[in-house]
Amino acid sequence: MLRKLTTGLLVLLFSYTSFGKIFALEAFKGTLYNQPFPHVLTTPLIYLIPAAELLTAIALLLEKTRKSGLYSALILLIIFTLYITAILLHLFHKTPCSCGGIFRDLSWRQHLWLNLLLTGLTFIALFSHTKKSIPSPLNLHL
């Protein structure tokens, strides 16, 4: 039950964030240029981030690719959690703009807690999915 709920939540999250970036591409591009990493990375990231989010959402929807989708979601969440942590530790010379949409009103600290919760739920869902796919010795038919 928790695995299905988490998977559904992740599909909504990554679909929402991906389409938000795609439909407001100029605003997303401007936000990326305000980030504290080299601008040479901006052009590839403009396309890679929404694509990765959308592919993750699609992978989570399909039973055949759900495990890969959970791994992808976990990786994306860990990367963003590390990024938020770096912001909170003042590792960048400037604080970048926060997220848009429904996440706009969250502080960086609130965003960190949300990401930690989602990362934990994703890890549990992945563990549950992996555990489900390992055959039990009691279920083997000889």
66 vs 61: CA distance, rounded Å: 7
- The string of pLDDT tens digits covering residues 40-66 is 999 999 999 999 999 999 999 999 999
| Interatomic CA distance for residues 13 and 139, integer angstroms | 36
CA distances from 27 to 12, 21, 33 (A): 21, 8, 10
Hey, CA dihedral for 86, 92, 95, 100, is it positive or negative?
negative
Give residue limits of the domains in the chain. Answer: 2-132
Other CB atoms within 10 A of residue 80 CB: 18
pLDDT digits (tens, 9 = 90+) for 17-45: 999 999 999 988 988 888 888 889 999 99
Q: Six-digit token pair at 26? A: 């100029």
Residue 34, pLDDT score:
85
Q: How far apart are CA 28 and CA 52, in angstroms?
A: 15
